[in-house]
Amino acid sequence: MSAYVKSVIINGKSSTSRCHFDFYDVFRLDSDIIITLTVDKTAVDSCEEDMPESLLAGGFTTTR
């Protein structure tokens, strides 16, 4: 059985993406993450238009 990410909540706020997380915002700042899964593939959309900057642009455009 497959599971799909239905929603992501980071520090009490809905994430703008279900497909990737910003390392700095999530891990370096000691965030709380709640990931809700579903087995219903039709309940989630694809992530094709929401790729991380590193993959979409061929590299990071900003540094931290």
Domain of residue 16, residue span:
1-39
Looking at the structure of the chain, the number of domains it has is 1
Q: What is the pLDDT of residue 61?
A: 60
Q: Is residue 32 part of a domain?
A: yes
Residue 59 lies in a domain: no
| Residue 23 in domain | yes
Q: What is the pLDDT of residue 23?
A: 73
Span 46-56, pLDDT tens digits: 776 666 666 55
Closest CA to 21 of 60, 64, 41, 51: 51
**What pLDDT does residue 15 have?**
84
Average pLDDT, the chain: 77
Asked whether the beta carbons of 17 and 50 are under 8 A apart, the reply is yes
